[in-house]
Every structure is written in structure tokens, then in C-alpha cells.
Structure 1
Amino acid sequence: MFFILGLGTLLPWNFFMTASLYFQRRLNTTEWSNGTKVVRKEYYFNNWMTLLSQLPLLLFTLLNSFLYPRISEAIRIAGSLVFILLLFILTAVLVKVPMEEDRFFSVTMATIWFINSFGAVLQGSLFGLVGMLPQKYSSIFMSGQGLAGTFAAIAMLIAIGSKMDPETAALGYFVTPCMGTLLTLFSYLVLPRLVSQLSSQHNCITHNPSDLTYTNSPIWVMAFCVMFVFTVTLSVFPAITVDVKTTSEGKNWELYFISVCCFLIFNINDWLGRTITTKIRWPSKESRLFPVLVISRVVFIPLLMFCNVQSRNYLPVLFEHDVAFSIIMVLFSLSSGYFVCLSMSYAPQLVEPKDAETAGALMTFFLALGLSIGAALSFPLRKLI
């Protein structure tokens, strides 16, 4: 059940991200002029999608202390799932509705903002819920989150491989998260006793005021690390990586290239990186090497920018072959999942037990901040290419 709940929290972000090829087709603004293909208008869809997906997480993380005590847990979780379901249904319906590009872009961006706003409330509420359970339930929940992207990537591969017309394939693709959201809602509703028991336990617990403001606390190192990992990751994925083109001449492979080499490779290895931390925890939480390795991930930004990203105006292509791009993506995603999971698991161990809840809230804020900074950086980085 908790695996399904974890899966459901990241369905909105992953299904919109993985469907970037569908949205690019709907926003196709190229035209032929004197025998040359010219871009009439550039929407920068992937950049805006990334930014408007992550800003709600940062906003609602800041609003947690105000929002959560005033709205019951059941309304927050069930209500968010219902609204996410309705917005997915709207997106599926729009597949069959002809619409002028500017209007379609505006409607899609509004949908992305609201669906990720409800997703942020859902994620924060469920993190609070599983936080009252033994550690193994948190691991199961995080594992479900890690596989949400793989689920979306496989759904896209099935849609492409179905050989149906693009509209029908896209409709089937967006119906899939509707079913996933329904399953998530059902999973939550069949746990009323557990939810009630956990809520009662939570209300009975009293916490002493926490003070994590002293700058020498090692938790600030972990907060910086989780922020920096996501800043690097979101600055190039998916806004830049989704524009990498295959050098293969096979038309069938061209259809599958981004779904496999960008989304599937990233999500599988990100999940694998998280899973590895259950067996290997290196460097240690006290090691100075840990933040050094996290900062060294910045090398992936130029490496991916020098891949065969099209179109480009300034930088040369240094890694043209598909294999080179795939190897870089494996290392990029594996290190992302590994260092994020280590940072999040080390943080509570660096404070007194009474401060663990405050430490978790602090880490969640810096995680959201890193996602938002990375999404914002994707705009100038894409321009530089």
C-alpha cells in the first residue's frame, strides 16, 4: 500500500515530463521558407514545464506550517488525489480537442501548475504520515516514488509501440495515470484505521522547541548537498536532455530514442542509486569528501550540453554518438539518486532525537529549493547551447 502511495505522489510530474514529445508535436511551430525549415515561435515548453512543476513544491513547503494545522489530513490527501484525477482527465480530453498553439500552451501550463500544487500537498502530507511509522515504511514509500518515473517511461514506450495514430496513443497514455491515481486513492481509503491511529499518536506527541539555527551544525552541510544535487539535476534534465537527437538513421529507433535513453535510463538508475544506499553508505556523514563529491557532479552540466542537443547556436557537439549520451546519463542519474538518498537519510542522524522532525522539514525545504533553482537555471543553460 505504501509503495502505491509513493508511486502516486510523483505521477503528475513524471507523466507530464515523459510526454514532452506529445506536447512538442502539439506546439509544432516550424514552417518551410525558401526550402528551409524555420522556427516561427519557440515556446521552451520543457523549461517552463520544469519550472512550473517545481515552484509549487517550494511554495507549499513554505506554507506547510500555516496550511496543515488548519486542514485535516484526510481532506488534504483524498482531496488532492481527487483534483489530480480531474486534471489528468482534463489533459486526456484535450488530446482530442483541436486548439490554437498559444491557447493550448496556456491551458497546459495552468494544468501543470495546479496538478503539481495538489501533488505538493499530497507529497508533504504523505511524508508526514509515513514519518510516524517504522523506517521500513519510509523506505517502501521512497521506493515507490523512485519507480514513478519508470512507470511513466514504460507507459510512453507502450504508447509509441502500439502503432496507433498519435492522438489515440496519447489518449491511452494519459488514461494510465488516471487509473494510477484512482488506485492511489483506493490505497489510502482502505487504511482508515491506520491513518486514525497514526493521527492519534501524532497528536499525543509533544515536541520541545528545536534550534537548528547555529551555523556549525553538520545538518546544514546535508541541506546544502541535497539542494545542490537537485540544482544540477534539474538544470539539464529534462529541459536539455530531451532535445538530444540520435545519430542513428533507423526511423524506429528515432521514435524510441528519448523515451529510452533519456527517461527510462534516468529513472531506472536514479531508483538504483537510491536502492544502493541500503547496502553501501560511502562516504560517511562526517566525511569532508561527501560535499566535495556532491559538488563534483556539476561536471555533468557541460557534459550533457556538449551532447547532440538540437537545435544549437553556440556550443559544438563533442559527444555525438548515442552510446556516449547513454553512458553520461547512467552516471548522472545513478549519482543523483545515490547522493540525494544519502543526504536525506544522514540528516536526521546529525541532530538530537527531539530535533528530527524539524530536521526533516528543513531538508524538505532545501530539496524543493534545489529543484526550483535547477528549473530556473535550465533557461539560460538552454540559451547557451
Structure 2
Amino acid sequence: MPKFDVQTNSNNSSKRLGIFSSDYCKHIGDTCNNMENGPYGVDVPSFPRKIQVASLNNEPPKDKWQALRIILAIQGLATSLPWNMFINAQPYFQDYKLMINPNSTDMERHYQSSFMNYITICSMIPSVLFAAINVFITNSSVVSPMRMIVAKLVMLALLAVTIALAAIDTRDHVVTFFIVTMVIIVFINGAAAIFQNSLVGICSILPSKFITTLFFGTNIAGVLTSISSIISIAISSNAKIFALFYFSSAIFIVMIALITNKIFQRLPLYLYYKNQVLNKFHQTDEQSSRPQFWKIFKKIWMTCFNLWLTLTITVFNFPNVVSHVKRMSIPINDIYWIPVFCFLNFNIFILLGTVLVFWTVWPGPKRMWIVVLIRTLIFGPFFILGNYLPDERVMPKYLANDYVYIVAIMVLALTGTYLVNACFVSMISLLEENELAVGGMILNLFVFLAVLSGGLVSFITRPLVQCC
């Protein structure tokens, strides 16, 4: 780790000055003032004396009560709420708000049958766009947390509009409801992309266990929204009450994330690593230049490719394909089949895949592409060969078994999230300290590119099984 300027003095010099002498204290104060007045000092709050002492000893402060990890998990939880909320509410949208009746037009029928595909596209195009903008407007080695605050305020406002729409009868305005919902999805996911992209950039300057904790929180969101969806179905058959309860819980979580946003910026451990990175940047000749995006990308391009291909296959299958696989023999009410054995099952094993990365990261960056390619060849065609769209398909069914489907969902989720987290951990080992924030944001941009490409490819599955 780089040290503060005062550490460049020899041991003898330190002894001559004396750690508590007025000259020594004045020297430390001048150093801190110079940092604050420099080109990147605006984003560096004054840090407490504990941080100065810890830095002088080159020992990071302790994460007291695991406060930083808990707050990062909460922030991660809030980043993926928009995506998880809308895809887990599939029955509310398709079977209630976009319900087909004998008088429905062809356009309304199309919107109803292709709703999940439209959610994916309207989520990921703005996510890619806003994440890319967020990367390239970054002009420092440390990301400003203020972007996250603005993004969360936008998310809160749009979730409030979604709740208002749930309370309004839109049966005579199906197309209008569909368009307004897609506009909400576009902007709420754009805000979430800025939020998540900035958060990953911030976490990338910390040790790898913190970015893994962030994704642990992100994946908890999937489990909680799945459970929330199942509870909502169980306690009320009224779709309006379901939506009000469901989306209100999202507002509650985003508000907690907004409150805790300012807290982690003041935690000693975060300030320690933030100032270490800024010190490293000040010691180079790059003080007046923007981050070297191409130089950073060349170091991690293979990791970006592995992450992109892994997530593309995951999103190609989930939720667009797997949510249309019908139950065959398992004794359960059809209303619970997809919420339990698709969404909840998938999200639980997503979470377990994140936990595995806390213990081991295998394979390394040089061999990871082999595992990624094998997974792609297996899961590319797997689910469309099962009981996918049984009433519409012409293609023969080779893997039409409920238990095979359930196990395959587990493996898809477990391997997908494990490899994605392994990519982020590998990225940290490939870059210099002052490159980590931008590197993390670039890698996170490929997350959104992968979800977009997976969603686009999933459009071919319905016509494929209908004509082959």
C-alpha cells in the first residue's frame, strides 16, 4: 500500500521530530491541507485522527461491528431491486394488468405474450447507456458517492408512480398502461445503473471481500423479492393489494439505502483505502489527466469477455425462457409453480454461488474461459428442449421433466453467479490500486451489456420452437 508523504521520512527523522511535537503535527496538517486543495481534494472529506495514526502505521482500521460490510450489503440489495421487482411481478402484469379478453386487439395480445422480453430490453438498453456515461464522465481515481444519492431519489419517485398505477383501474387503457410502465422501467433502471456502477467503482478500491459482500447483498434482493411475491399471492388473491404491498416494500428498502449512504462515507476503513488510492494517484505523473480507459481495458479484456458470455447465457434463459416452462407432474398449484421453482429456486442458488466466492476462486483468470465455454454449450439449448411453451411448440421435447428442470435452474444460477463474482475478484488482482475504481466500473458495464445481449437473443426462442 502507498504511504502518506510523512512516511517518506526516515525513522531517524521521525525520532528527531517526535510524534507529538508541534513541528511534526504541523507537517501532518500541511500535508492534509495540500491534499484537500489539490485537483481531486474536493471529494476527500477531512478524516479523523484515528485514520492518520492508522495510515502512519500502514495498518487499515478495523471494520468495527462489520459496519462497512453490512452497509454495502444493504446498498447492493437496493441496486437490483428494480430488475427483480418487475420480473418477479410477472403474474401481476401479464395476468391482471395486461389480461387478454375476447375484445383484445392484436397489439394488446402481443404486449401480453412478450411482456418479459420487453422488460428485459427496456431495462438493459438504458442500463448500458447510463452505465457507459457514468464510466466516461469519471475524471478521478475515486468515484463520488453523490451520484448514488441522486439515483436513489429518482428510484423512489418512480416506485411511487408504479404504486399509483397499481391503484388505478387500467382495463380500458391497456396500451397506455403498457407504454407508461415501460417508460418507468427505462428510467428506473437507468438510475439503478448509475447507482450500481458507482457503487462497484467505490467497492473496487477495497479488499476483494467487500465487493463480494456487495454482490451478496445484490443477490439477497432476488431472494427477498421472490419471497415477497409468494407471500403476496398467499395472503391475497387481489392483484391490486398484491402490487401495493409488493412495491411498497421496495420503497422501504431504497429509503434505508439512502439513509445509510452517507454513513459509509464516514467510516474509518473506507476513508483509509480512499486516501491510499488518492495518495498513489498524487505520486504519479497522471495528476492532470483523466483515467486511461483503454490501458485499463487491455489489462482486463479477457475477464470482461468471460463475464459477458457467462451472464449472456444466464439472461438468455432467465427469466424469458424458464418462466414459460410449464409444470408436468409435481403436485403443486400452478399459481406457485413459477414463483417457487423458477424465481425463488434461481435466486437462492444465485445467493449460494456468491457465498462460495468467499472461500475460493477457481479457475484463475487465464483458464476461466474454458469453464465459461463449457457452460455456454450446455445451457445454450438446454431449457428450450424441455416443456417450454408446450401449447405453441412444434419442436420435439427431449428434456421434458420437472425434476430435471428444477436441478438445471439450480446449476444455471450457481455457476453463473460464481463465475461473475470470480471475474470481479480476478479484476482486482490484474490492476494497480489507482486503476481499480475505473476497472470495476468498466467490468460492471459489461454486466449490463451481457443482460442486454441475453435479452435480445431470447427473442428468437419463441419463433424457434414454433417452426422447428
SS in 2 for 1:238: coil
State the distance in 2 between where 1:219 and 1:373 align. Answer: 20
State the distance in 2 between where 1:28 and 1:263 align. Answer: 21
The question of 1:258 aligning with 2:300 is answered no
Q: 2:123 is matched with which residue?
A: 53
1:164-313 matches, within 5 Å, as 164-191=237-264, 193-194=266-267, 197=271, 201=275, 205-206=280-281, 208=286, 210=292, 219-248=300-329, 253-287=333-367, 290-298=368-376, 299-310=378-389, 311-313=391-393
Aligned AA (1:348): I
Offset of 1:30 from its aligned partner?
4.8
Change in CA separation of 1:47 and 1:142 when aligned onto 2, cut-off 3 Å: same
Look at both structures and tell me which one has the larger radius of gyration over its CA atoms: 2
The question of 1:343 aligning with 2:414 is answered no
SS in 2 for 1:31: coil
Deviations 1:258-291 (A, max 9, x none): 111111111111121122122233223333xx21
1:82-121 matches, within 5 Å, as 82-99=153-170, 100-121=173-194
Change in CA separation of 1:128 and 1:222 when aligned onto 2, cut-off 3 Å: closer
Tell me if structure 2 keeps the 8 A contact 1:29–1:41. yes
Offset of 1:160 from its aligned partner?
1.0
State the distance in 2 between where 1:354 and 1:214 align. Answer: 10
Deviations 1:338-373 (A, max 9, x none): 111112211232345554444333322322221211
Aligned AA (1:180): I
The question of 1:382 aligning with 2:455 is answered no
Offset of 1:159 from its aligned partner?
0.4
State the distance in 2 between where 1:58 and 1:194 align. Answer: 31
Q: Which moved more, 1:276-285 or 1:139-148?
A: 276-285
SS in 2 for 1:94: helix
SS in 2 for 1:150: helix
Structure 2-normalised TM-score? 0.73
Aligned AA (1:333): A
Extract unaligned runs of 5+ from structure 1: none
Extract unaligned runs of 5+ from structure 2: 1-70
Q: 1:151 is matched with which residue?
A: 224
Structure 1-normalised TM-score? 0.88
Tell me if structure 2 keeps the 8 A contact 1:219–1:350. yes
State the distance in 1 between where 2:236 and 2:158 align. Answer: 26
Q: 2:88 is matched with which residue?
A: 18
Q: 1:29 aligns with which of 91, 100, 124?
A: 100
State the distance in 2 between where 1:320 and 1:48 align. Answer: 27
State the distance in 1 between where 2:424 and 2:211 align. Answer: 12
Change in CA separation of 1:82 and 1:218 when aligned onto 2, cut-off 3 Å: closer
Q: Identity, % of aligned pairs?
A: 28
Tell me if structure 2 keeps the 8 A contact 1:29–1:42. no
SS in 2 for 1:185: helix
Change in CA separation of 1:319 and 1:57 when aligned onto 2, cut-off 3 Å: same
State the number of aligned residues.
376
Aligned AA (1:237): F
State the distance in 1 between where 2:91 and 2:219 align. Answer: 22
Aligned AA (2:193): A
The question of 1:80 aligning with 2:151 is answered yes
State the distance in 2 between where 1:361 and 1:2 align. Answer: 16
State the distance in 1 between where 2:274 and 2:399 align. Answer: 56
State the distance in 2 between where 1:253 and 1:237 align. Answer: 22
Which ranges of 4 or more aligned residues in structure 1 deviate by more than 6 Å?
A: none
